[in-house]
Amino acid sequence: MSALTSKVEAVFNEPACGVNQGKSDKERKKGCAKQLTPGAAAGGCAFDGAKIALQPIVDVAHLVHGPIACEGNSWDNRHAASSGPKLYRTGFTTDIGDLDVVYGGEKRLFRAIREIIEKYDPPAVFVYQTCVTAMIGDDIEAVCKAAAAKFGKPVIPVNAPGFAGSKNLGNKLGGEALLDYVVGTEEPEFSTPYDINIYGEYNLAGELWQVKPLFDALGIRVLANISGDARYSDVARSHRAKAAMMVCSKALINIARKMEERYGIPYFEGSFYGISDTSESLRNIAKLLVQQGAPEELLARTEALIAREEARAWARIEPYRARLSGKRVLLITGGVKSWSVVSALQEIGIEVMGTSTKKSTKEDKARIKEIMGDESHMFDDLPPREMYRILKNSEADIMLSGGRSQFVALKAKTPWMDINQERHHAYAGYEGMVELMKQIDLLLYNPIWEQVRRPAPWERDNEGLDMRSEGGC
């Protein structure tokens, strides 16, 4: 059995994943996500998933071993922000061609690693396997090992070629690379009883920076955030954390479980979307740290901070309450956001008329049911035509989704807000909740909607009356 096959099987066997454990052996072998239709880019491949999970480590060079399109496909498609190094935003690829396919691309890969180290001297180079180089049999593990020995630097193989499966599987394979080659290879200069790890927070649009001041105020040190705004050394030293929070259940559950198993770091799953969820997460972190030996006074300090911050956030949200309360939102997103954003919106009286659950786990769906009362507002698959009908008939006042469905909303002349990974505004923590309300308010009350909904001059009759008939999608 190849190393990749056994790794994929191990990931599918994840004991901490309730969905996997509920399956038969045969079902589990098939994997946890539907296989992609060849040629259909929607959803991303395993390589894409691994890159998404690891690229936010900002000071390392991310080298893609494959044809140039793989890197072109994945480069910088998210706004994972950095507080310092910018090397992670440089696209490195071996750009293999026909001759490499015939003769093998290992030498070319070795030369590319050398060039990067000579020109940029990063703390580490991450090498990503892709479909073509995996199929011609390039052994990236062996090349990385030889390069690490030759140049005296960590060169980390990330063996997640696209054909291995979905983006979700790729996230986990990226996590496996960290567990196999990075975590535990360095020691922190000092340890405190307040050291934590966060898994699955990618610092999109700077969301980590909205919650980090809360930890700073409590004296809690984020030893490693895996992987938003992380440095290589943070991840290498992360095994010394005392407790951990897992932000996105699907992405890096294997890291959370194995860090607990290997290094005794307990974790819980939480969310920083919404006021009460943020407070709950802070409480859980404090509780776990106290369980692990931190002084008990941390609990009281956490409660005091929560009370202060909640009051401050509600005071800032208050002006929006009257304007937003009762507005109806159609939410098309996935995973943890499908429930955490629902509860965040409901807190201020916004009605969620529907939320998509296509990319949600069984646990996510159970949370939505708990928050919304029943399943009637859950859409497993909402085709664009139906989405358009809902918006056109004004059953929702605004749609929150990813960029791909924005044009459905715009065609229906309905406000649309980007809630997915390409978003430019950060919505985490108390600060993020205020920002979320501000952005929804700006969009809903933008005067452009009144203007675009008016009939165009050629759509009026001689008396100026609207001659438009209702059209379909």
- Dihedral of alpha carbons 364, 369, 370, 371, sign: positive
Q: Is residue 73 near ligand SF4 by the rule CB under 6 A?
A: yes
Measured from the CB atom, the residue of 74 and 225 that comes closer to ligand SF4 is 74
Binding part of the chain for ligand SF4, among 42-50, 176-184, 192-200, 391-399 by CB under 6 A, reads: 42-50
**Structure-block tokens of residue 154:** 């960590």
Q: Is residue 88 near ligand SF4 by the rule CB under 6 A?
A: no
Binding part of the chain for ligand SF4, among 43-51, 93-101, 252-260, 338-346 by CB under 6 A, reads: 43-51
Q: Is residue 444 near ligand SF4 by the rule CB under 6 A?
A: no
Of the residues 70, 243, 317, 399, which one makes contact with ligand SF4 according to CB under 6 A: 70
Q: Is residue 93 near ligand SF4 by the rule CB under 6 A?
A: no
Angle of CA points 83, 47, 408, to nearest 5°: 80
**Minimum CB separation from ligand SF4 for residue 204, in Å?**
21
Q: Is residue 170 near ligand SF4 by the rule CB under 6 A?
A: no
Instruction: Give CA–CA dist 261/282, Å, rounded.
Output: 23
Q: Which residues pair with 400 in a beta bridge?
A: 331, 417
Measured from the CB atom, the residue of 66 and 175 that comes closer to ligand SF4 is 66
Please state the φ and ψ torsions of residue 61, each to the nearest 5 degrees: -90, 130
Q: Is residue 144 near ligand SF4 by the rule CB under 6 A?
A: no
**Minimum CB separation from ligand SF4 for residue 8, in Å?**
15
Of the residues 31, 122, 157, 162, which one makes contact with ligand SF4 according to CB under 6 A: 162
Instruction: Give CA–CA dist 368/106, Å, rounded.
Output: 48
Binding part of the chain for ligand SF4, among 40-48, 138-146, 196-204, 212-220 by CB under 6 A, reads: 40-48
Of the residues 16, 33, 68, 131, which one makes contact with ligand SF4 according to CB under 6 A: 131
Residues 6 or more apart whose CB falls under 8 angstroms from that of 31 comprise 8, 12, 165, 166, 169
Q: Is residue 130 near ligand SF4 by the rule CB under 6 A?
A: yes
Binding positions for ligand SF4, rule: CB under 6 A: 45, 47-48, 66, 70, 73, 130-131, 161-162
